[in-house]
């Protein structure tokens, strides 16, 4: 037991590397918030644009969704960070991680919102249009409030799964929790920093999971 404690719960090692790990915690928190914001808002915008049924635009949206639902998150991040400089565009590792994860989340979010939009009875559209609302007004004021509620339970688990991919950002040297924990573990030859890193991930994602369960209970009755 003593050896276990020295290897995984070494107080001296934890105290030495805790400031760096907390710095990684702040980076992970900012990264997760940016990914969720970009992914959800872009997915919502694409689904609403798709509702106008402009053929050429819809082909582009479907192609975007199919590509980013197929590609692994890590491949997208690595391409953005290492590939874009060859096209004359250099972005930071943090931005590459936000874009990589955010675009993947947007693809799944668009499908969830689109499925919710198409589930709204046609009579809702007709009733809204009969009151003199334009198509855009009916979409924004009548259909989308219902569609968003329907989409929430479909979207929560996918959002959590993709947002946990922030750990993959360590591959492109984003100084998030896993990156800092791995560095500390290598320098100390001790696994304690990795244990602390796991606890910090729990501190971020446990409330996220609890909030998602509340959303599912709050809006799940609509499905």
Query: What is the distance, to the nearest Å, from the Cα of residue 172 to the centroid of all Cα atoms in its chain?
Result: 17
pLDDT (average), residues 190-206 = 91
What integer pLDDT is reported at residue 138 of this predicted model? 92
What integer pLDDT is reported at residue 210 of this predicted model? 87
Q: Which of 46-60, 121-135, 136-150, 205-219 has the highest mean pLDDT?
A: 46-60
What would you measure as the largest C-alpha separation in the chain, in angstroms? 76
- Work out the percent of the chain whose per-residue pLDDT is above 70: 96
What integer pLDDT is reported at residue 29 of this predicted model? 93
What integer pLDDT is reported at residue 218 of this predicted model? 75
Cβ-proximal residues to 10 (8 Å cutoff; 6+ apart), any chain: 188, 190, 192
Task: Name the CATH superfamily housing domain 7-222.
Answer: MetI-like (1.10.3720.10)
pLDDT range class, residue 222, cuts 50, 70, 90: very low
136: number of Cβ within 10 Å: 11
Instruction: Kindly tell me the burial class for residue 77, based on how many C-beta atoms sit within 10 Å of its own C-beta (0-12, 13-18, 19 or more).
Output: buried
Residues 115, 121 contacting (CB under 8 angstroms): no
Look at 128 and 37; give whichever has higher pLDDT: 37
Q: What is the pTM for the complete model shown?
A: 0.90
pLDDT (average), residues 73-80 = 94
CA distances 205 to 9, 83, 109, 180, Å, are: 22, 31, 19, 18
12: number of Cβ within 10 Å: 11
For residue 30, the surrounding DSSP H or E stretch is helix 11-50
Measure the CA–CA gap between 192 and 9, rounded to whole angstroms: 5
CA distances 48 to 157, 169, 220, Å, are: 22, 30, 22
For the chain, the domains span 7-222
Measure the CA–CA gap between 106 and 41, rounded to whole angstroms: 8
What integer pLDDT is reported at residue 9 of this predicted model? 83
């Amino acid at each position: 037991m003593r050896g276990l404690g020295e290897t995984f719960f070494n107080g001296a090692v934890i105290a030495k590397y805790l400031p760096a790990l907390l710095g990684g915690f702040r980076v992970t928190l900012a990264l997760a918030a940016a990914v969720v914001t970009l992914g959800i808002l872009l997915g919502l915008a694409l689904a609403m644009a798709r509702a106008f049924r402009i053929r050429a635009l819809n082909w582009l949206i479907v192609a975007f969704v199919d590509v980013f639902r197929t590609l692994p998150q890590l491949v997208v991040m690595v391409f953005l960070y290492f590939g874009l400089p060859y096209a004359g565009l250099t972005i930071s590792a943090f931005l590459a991680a936000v874009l990589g994860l955010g675009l993947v989340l947007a693809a799944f979010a668009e499908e969830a919102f689109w499925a919710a939009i198409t589930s709204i009875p046609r009579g809702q559209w007709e009733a809204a249009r009969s009151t003199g609302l334009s198509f855009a007004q009916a979409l924004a004021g009548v259909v989308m409030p219902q569609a968003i509620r329907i989409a929430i339970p479909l979207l929560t688990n996918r959002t959590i799964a993709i947002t946990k991919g922030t750990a993959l950002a360590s591959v492109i040297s984003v100084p998030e929790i896993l990156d800092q924990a791995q560095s500390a573990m290598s320098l100390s030859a001790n696994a304690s920093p990795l244990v602390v890193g796991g606890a910090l991930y729990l501190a971020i994602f446990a409330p996220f999971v609890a909030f998602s369960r509340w959303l599912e209970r709050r809006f799940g009755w609509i499905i």
